[in-house]
Amino acid sequence: MLGPVPEDSAPWAQQRITAATALLTATNLQAFAWEAPHYLASATDYRAIQQQYGVHYGRLTYFGLQNESHSKMVGQFFPYLIERDHYGYKVIPESLGNIEPEPFAGYRTLFPADLIRHAEKLKVVRDGVASFFYHPFLVPPVSTFYLAEVVQGLKNLGYEFVSAPSLLNP
């Protein structure tokens, strides 16, 4: 969240969500899901956004279920669709990770072979969803090469690429 956050941030968060939705509408765009930037929002934000967008695409961060303490949180990878999580979302998982050629605080490097290996392991899950995200700002031509390698590796494993919204109504 940006800017000063009121103690009870639910109304403040809802105002920002409404404003963002209006911006999308003004540009003739419509979102089918929401994803927290870098998979991190407060529990209050997750709940407020769920009222506008009932679908979350990606990983989620869950806070202490008893006291919502930010000091006790866990990120969650799901290998398949979740009909309703703790915040009330239907979750389309991002289950493979992302290409990360440079390590940074708490994250190791990940290359196309790593994502392909994750997808291979995921094949043991019935109705699994192999989904990854890709940062297009990686320096070309490496970025294009890495993306092509992941796509071909997933196709070689037998995965079929489909639109994310199509997963909501199988």
Q: CA-CA distance, 109 to 155, in Å (whole number)?
A: 23
Q: Is there a cis peptide before residue 141, judged by omega within 30 degrees of 0? A: yes
Within-domain flag for 2: no
Within-domain flag for 55: yes
Within-domain flag for 158: yes
DSSP letter at 127? T
Between 141 and 4, the more confident residue is: 141
Within-domain flag for 5: no
Examine the domain organization and report whether 51 and 17 are in the same domain: yes
Examine the domain organization and report whether 101 and 160 are in the same domain: yes
Within-domain flag for 133: yes
Average pLDDT taken over every residue of the chain:
85
Residue 106 has pLDDT above 80, yes or no: no
Examine the domain organization and report whether 78 and 149 are in the same domain: no
Examine the domain organization and report whether 82 and 136 are in the same domain: no
Residues 6+ apart with CB under 8 A from 116: 149, 150, 153, 154, 157
Residue 154 has pLDDT above 70, yes or no: yes
pTM confidence score:
0.81
Q: What is the pLDDT of residue 71?
A: 63
Q: What is the pLDDT of residue 5?
A: 46
Give per-residue pLDDT as tens, 23-73. Answer: 999 999 988 999 888 778 888 888 888 988 999 999 888 887 655 555 677
Of 52, 76, 92, the position where a domain reaches its end is 92
Q: What is the pLDDT of residue 139?
A: 61
Give per-residue pLDDT as tens, 61-104. Answer: 888 765 555 567 788 889 999 999 999 999 999 999 888 888 77
Of 27, 59, 92, the position where a domain reaches its end is 92
Q: What is the pLDDT of residue 66?
A: 59
Q: What is the pLDDT of residue 64?
A: 72
Q: What is the pLDDT of residue 1?
A: 38
Per-residue pLDDT, averaged over 8-34, amounts to 83
Examine the domain organization and report whether 109 and 163 are in the same domain: yes
Examine the domain organization and report whether 59 and 102 are in the same domain: no
Question: What is the three-class DSSP state of 79?
Answer: coil
Say if residue 126 is exposed, middle or buried (CB neighbours under 10 Å; 0-12, 13-18, 19+).
exposed
Structural domain including 80 reads: 10-92
